[in-house]
Structure 1
Amino acid sequence: MALTSTDETDLILPLFTGMRENPRFATFLERLRRRTDANHIGLIHRTHDWAGKREATYFAGEDLRRRAVETGSPDPFETDHALFEQLRSNRVYSLSELVEHDPVARAARARRMANLGLADERIVRITDGETFTAWLMLARSKPCSAADSALLSNLAPYVAIALGNLVAAERDRLLARINSLSLTRAGRGWMTFDREQRLTAIDPETASYWERHCGGEPRIGERLRALDHGAERELAMAITDLSDNPQHPAHPVLLRRAPRMEALLMAMDGGSEQPGDILALVPLPHDSPTQGATRLSQVHDLPPREAELAMALAGGHSIAESAERMGLTLETARNYSKRLYAKLGVRGQAELVRLVYESTAVLA
């Protein structure tokens, strides 16, 4: 079965939109099952990129694994796993041909197929050689034809593109999640503006803070509310400068005085023909992390009270203020601080502050 013009609509388009389905590729697999009159269509997708090794199985028609449990047969995917690994990319196989030389294995496999109500199957291995390997298979209760093999062969390049897009999308989502989590942990947020100072995107933490403390919900497509005229002018000038000259250094802007919120504006690369949005990084006020002293104690092998004193001093409190906050005498706090400086190898409160703020202790 070669691909027809109808297949472009019935198979190829659902394949490329299938990553957004739940379960993924459900429409493509079901239409392929109907097209081939198969009992089972399966797609095993294994990724092996920098984010780790993961495997997912999608299918339409009979659930062969459940059928195996019901009939007391071995799991067909586990049993044939070694055979899957032997397949050359983009060539369509009948797995039974790989055991033709072994009468015992051939007979055992024939029994397993019969127990599952299957007579024949075809499978093709698909890989980009770097980030994923996949197997597209069909199984039937009657013999497969040369047309079935041709259809799988013709579909293989399209499946490779779809799975490559899926891997790239998952990688981008993971990177975005890592970046967002890192900024949140560091007490930073972001928003982006177009050339007319309209908000084009904002992270949830910044949106929530602005709504609670700055006079209204920030809305995409609108300008920020509750800015005084001076802040509006400064923001407009910075965005115009950066839009006209993306190489311009990052521009600090005071958005609000009460509560105080500053922003560091910088150009985003929008390509040579279209200027990109302007990114604004904003420090979000937050309390000292409740686990900061514990982390400092673990990393530097400090007694808990000494680590607590270190966090108080790093927060800008004097020895006397820290002693009062911790319920210590001034003399005890001074003794703690001397031992603390010696253990950490710092000379005074200024170096202590730098050490703490370069550690994980200040991450939320």
Structure 2
Amino acid sequence: MALTSTDETDLILPLFTGMQENPRFATFLERLRRRTDANHIGLIHHTHDWTGGRKSTYFAGENLSRRAAETNSPDPFETDRALFEQLRPNRVYSLSELVEHDPVARAARARRMANLGLADERVVRITDGDSFTAWLMLARAKPCSAADSALLSNLAPYVGIALGNLVAAERDRLLARINALSLARAGRGWMTFDLDQRLTAIDPETATYWEAHCGTEPRIGERLRGLDQGTDRELAAAMADLADDPGRPARAVLLRQVPRMEALLMAMDAGSEDPGDILALVPLPRELPADGAARLAQVHDLPPREAELAMELAGGHSIAESAERMGLTLETARNYSKRLYAKLGVRGQAELVRLVYESTAVLA
């Protein structure tokens, strides 16, 4: 039996918007419960891709897990989880079919459900084969019907699409968090501009820095303020060039002299015939992290004071300046530097600074 237009409005639409709800899919599950007169509608969702194996349980009606705990009964899903994982995808199973070839196990399952006040159930396993497996379950105190099975069977493909969208959205969110954290730790910010040089997005770190050091608040939908006329013209020309040919190499622009702030401009849609926003990667000036010396010492097995000297030198200070800042004699600082060069396999201060900046010591 195919889904009706009413089903599409009452069930499918809230299913696809349900990932935005809290708890998720609440409207879809409650409407399905009312439609079938079920005591319980459950959706158990397991992810098993690189985002990490997580189990999420959504339900409408009676909370079977809580009732099982209150009556000292086994959880109806976890007890027979091995059976549920063996179900053929997209086929609806009845209570008797779950353990079709084992009458003892079938009777035990029926008793466990009876202890929860339930007489029958229907379940369908849904999976994309790679990133998730889910079970849509219907349980109630009276026998289920063929119409219940038909409804779950028809809904299963749509539930699979909705859960696939959810997994993809979660993956994108995780990637965005990783990218944002990586850029922030590396002292890099970003801005995006449309082809009219208006700001379309900016990361919080860059917005805070710009407002604090450039005297103006970056505003979405407006051109970047705080630039002199020459820089504004150069920025416009660079963006126009990238818009004309998104495949052009990235272009560096000096945004401000004081504080010094550069941007590396590139087309976000390089390779596309339709020009899109321009991405500006921005190195954010900042002090080296306070615990950078401890990280350097940990990785390279250095004494703490030698690691501190390495960080001072990486910060642009001379041997004499570093010695004064650390409260050392110049001779002691020179001895430390010689030991550093030998232990780290570098041939001088320049190579030492390069090693430090290629290490985790400079990450915030």
TM range (shorter): over 0.9
Q: CA deviation at 1:100?
A: 4.1
1:235 matches 2:235: yes
Deviation, 1:71, is 1.6
Distance change (3 Å), C-alpha of 1:127 and 1:31:
same
Contact 1:68-1:74 at 8 Å conserved across structures: yes
Match of 1:258 in 2: 258
Q: What is the count of residue pairs matched by the alignment?
A: 364
Q: Measure how far apart 1:154 and its partner are.
A: 0.3
* Equivalent residue, structure 2, for 1:112: 112
- Quote the offset at 1:48 in angstroms: 1.1
1:83–1:95 Cα contact (<8 Å) kept: no
Partner-residue secondary structure (3-state), 1:126: strand
AA aligned to 1:60 is A
**What is the distance in 2 between the residues matched to 1:157 and 1:270?**
36
**Contact 2:246–2:270 (CA<8 Å) still a contact in 1?**
no
SS state at 1:343 partner:
helix
**Contact 2:246–2:272 (Cα < 8 Å) also in 1:** no
TM-score (norm 2): 0.98
Q: Tell me how far 1:112 sits from its aligned partner.
A: 1.1
1:335-346 maps to which residues of 2 (within 5 A)? 335-346=335-346
Listed as ranges, the gaps of 5+ residues in structure 2 are none
Taking a change above 3 Å as real, the CA distance of residues 271 and 7 of structure 1, as seen in their structure-2 partners, is farther
* Partner in structure 1 of residue 10 of structure 2: 10
Counterpart contact for 2:262–2:283, Cα < 8 Å: yes
| TM-score, reference length from structure 1 | 0.98
The 3-state SS of whatever aligns with 1:79 is coil
Query: What is residue 33 of structure 2 aligned with on the other side?
Result: 33
CA distance in 2, matches of 1:102, 1:192: 62
SS at match of 2:142: coil
Q: Helix, strand or coil: the match of 2:67?
A: helix
Deviations 1:142-188 (A, max 9, x none): 00000000000000110111111111111111111111111100100
The Cα of 1:77 is off from its aligned counterpart by 1.6
Aligned residue type for 2:226: A
Name the SS of the counterpart of 1:129 in structure 2: coil
Structure 1 segment 95-110 matched on structure 2, within 5 A: 95-110=95-110
**Distance across 1 between alignment mates of 2:145 and 2:81:** 24
Residue type matched to 1:326 in 2?
M
The residue type paired with residue 162 of structure 2 is A
Partner in structure 2 of residue 139 of structure 1? 139
Between the aligned partners of 1:143 and 1:190, the Cα distance in structure 2 is 59
Q: Give yes or no for contact 1:270–1:277 (8 Å, CA) kept in 2.
A: no
Please name the residue that 2:210 is paired with: 210
Moved more, 126-135 or 208-217: 208-217
CA distance in 1, matches of 2:117, 2:94: 16
Q: Which moved more, 1:34-43 or 1:314-323?
A: 314-323
- Structure 1 CA distance for aligned equivalents of residues 270 and 18 of structure 2: 29
**Structure 1, unaligned stretches of length 5 or more?**
none
Q: 1:187–1:363: 8 Å Cα contact kept in structure 2? A: yes
Counterpart of 2:328 in structure 1 is 328
Equivalent pairs: percent with the same residue? 87
Q: Which sits farther off after the overlay, 198-207 or 94-103?
A: 94-103
**What's the counterpart of residue 21 of structure 1?**
21
Q: Which residue of 1 aligns with 2:173?
A: 173
Displacement of 1:251: 1.1
The SS at the match of 2:73 is coil
Distance in 1 between residues matched to 2:203 and 2:279, nearest whole Å = 11
Within 5 Å, give how 1:279-358 maps onto structure 2.
Answer: 279-358=279-358
How far apart, CA to CA, are the structure 2 residues paired with 1:95 and 1:189? Answer: 56
Tell me by how many angstroms 1:272 deviates: 4.2
| Runs of 4+ residues deviating >4 angstroms | 270-273
Greater shift, 93-102 or 187-196, is seen at 93-102
Counterpart AA for 1:204: P
One-letter code of the match for 1:330? L
Cα-to-partner distance string for 1:299-318 (whole Å, 9 max, x where unaligned):
00001011001111111211
Equivalent residue number for residue 246 of structure 2: 246
**Kept after mapping to 1: 8 A contact 2:247/2:271:** no
Give the letter aligned to residue 351 of structure 1.
E
Kindly state the Cα deviation for residue 231 of structure 1 after the two structures are TM-superposed. 1.0
Q: Cα distance 1:209–1:50, how it changes in 2: closer, same or farther (>3 A)?
A: same
TM-superposed deviation, 1:106: 2.5
SS of 1:49 mapped into structure 2: coil
> C-alpha distance in 1, partners of 2:259/2:278?
23
C-alpha distance in structure 2 between counterparts of 1:69 and 1:96, whole Å: 24
Instruction: Tell me how far apart the structure 2 counterparts of residues 274 and 345 of structure 1 sit (CA, whole Å).
Output: 50
What secondary structure sits across from 2:78 in the alignment? helix
Which letter does structure 2 place at the counterpart of 1:58? Y
For residue 89 of structure 2, what is the aligned residue in structure 1? Answer: 89
